[in-house]
Amino acid sequence: MNIRPLHDRIVVKRIEEKETVLNGIIIPDSAKEKPQEGEVVAVGNGKRLDNGSVVPLELKAGDRILFGKYSGSDIKVDGNEYLIMREDEVLGVIA
């Protein structure tokens, strides 16, 4: 990947949910919601405070996270879709 997030931003790849069939009804892709779970691909250096010091991020590449439905900005790099968001938009880390 050719992208490095700045400051307190992270790059996330969505984890697609497995298709489930309920009572024989297949839901088309256009009706499905985007998954709110992803894997951190890259992280920035950290958040810069007013006094100039940098607070490192708690997240690291490889973490599985949960995020809000409308969090981040969608980007496309080398044909793959990613999200760029701030670390404070992450709701939780999946252990």
Instruction: Sheet with 73-77: list strands edge to edge.
Output: 73-77, 80-86, 9-14, 37-43, 64-67, 90-94
Does some domain include residue 63? yes
CATH code for the domain of 70:
2.30.33.40
The predicted structure's pLDDT at residue 70: 86
Q: How far apart are CA 11 and CA 1, in angstroms?
A: 10
Does some domain include residue 41? yes
The pTM (predicted TM-score) of the whole model is: 0.78
Question: How many domains would you assign to the chain?
Answer: 1
pLDDT in tens, the chain (95 residues): 678 899 999 999 998 766 656 666 666 666 566 668 999 999 999 998 999 899 999 999 999 999 988 888 999 988 889 999 999 999 999 98
The predicted structure's pLDDT at residue 2: 78
Does some domain include residue 4? no
Q: How far apart are CA 56 and CA 43, in angstroms?
A: 10
Does some domain include residue 3? no
The predicted structure's pLDDT at residue 29: 60
The predicted structure's pLDDT at residue 22: 60
Residue 65 φ/ψ, nearest 5 degrees = -130, 165
Does some domain include residue 2? no
